[in-house]
Amino acid sequence: MIAIGKIMYNIRSMKFEDNLAKLEDTVRKMESGDLSLDQMIASFEEGRQLIDKCTKDLESIRLRIEKVTKDGGVENFEI
């Protein structure tokens, strides 16, 4: 089992894209039904931390975009 402190260190040092890919992988493993209860709980904790980090990263990106635009408005666009 991975220690929570170690997970947070790895998550903090990873890029947004890497965290998102790790989150998707974690969800796939949880949905497979092949994990023990302990593994499921650890995966849930890791997933929650990944979601928190991705959300913070996206908010930081949004603020940077607002800062760059002239009037502070952000154009809606589809990815």
Q: Does residue 37 belong to any structural domain of this protein?
A: yes
Global pTM? 0.69
pLDDT attached to residue 62: 86
Q: What pLDDT is attached to residue 70?
A: 62
The answer to whether residue 64 sits within a structural domain is yes
The reply to whether 79 falls in a domain is no
pLDDT at 11 over 80: no
> d(Cα 67, Cα 65) in Å, to the nearest integer?
5
Q: How far, in Å, CA of 17 to CA of 56, rounded?
A: 13
**What confidence score (pLDDT) does residue 33 get?**
92
For residue range 22-67, what is the model confidence (pLDDT) as tens digits? 999 999 999 999 999 999 999 999 999 999 999 999 999 888 887 7
State the pLDDT at residue 76: 63
First CA to last CA distance, the chain: 36
**Domains in the chain, number:** 1
